[in-house]
Amino acid sequence: MLTTTRIEKITQKLLMKLQVNHPEDLNIDRITKGLGIKVKYWEFESELVKKKGRYIIFLNENSNEIKKWLNLIHEVGHLCLHVGRQENLPYEFVQLQEWQANTFTYYFCVPTFMLDELHTVTPAEVSRIFNVDYSFSVRRVEMYQNRKNAVMQKRRTLAYV
């Protein structure tokens, strides 16, 4: 039995709410419409802002489409996992929040339940199917394989008990 992390449970719940069942469902328009979030483009780095009770995600207009997608989901991760703004937080706490938003991005952009349906889980396949860059797919496949290996190790250990 694969144990899911808190962040993975949050992403799974959100994906179910948005009725995201296939890799082609993972796109900016579908996610922002489903969440009721506006997207604006500007020359700076991505940022999540709450204005008049509504969320706006600003994305860098000069980024490629894959980078815009990953940045959008990173900001959605902040929305789902955190409250407030980071300006006055201790550095270590900001680093924790960034790690959490990055982890959210991996689980959301390449959901485990979709990986489980693939015949071969390689970085090249993940990159192609989920429209993420290769370095992102390498890390996500590593995360996935580590979890599968941990489960197999646990099963072997239990078999000897």
Domain edges within the chain: 6-159
Among 107, 86, 106, 85, CA closest to 95: 86
Per-residue model confidence (pLDDT) at position 1 = 45
- 6-159 adopts what CATH topology? Arc Repressor Mutant, subunit A (1.10.10)
Stated pTM of the model: 0.91
pLDDT tens readout for residues 63-114: 999 999 999 999 999 999 998 777 888 999 999 999 999 999 999 999 999 9
Rounded Cα distance between 37 and 63, Å, is 20
Asked whether the beta carbons of 131 and 67 are under 8 A apart, the reply is no
Rounded Cα distance between 61 and 37, Å, is 17
Region 33-42 average pLDDT: 96
Rounded Cα distance between 97 and 30, Å, is 25
97 or 148, which is more confident: 97
Give me the helices (H) in the chain, please.
6-17, 28-35, 65-81, 91-109, 112-115, 123-130, 134-159
Region 121-140 average pLDDT: 97
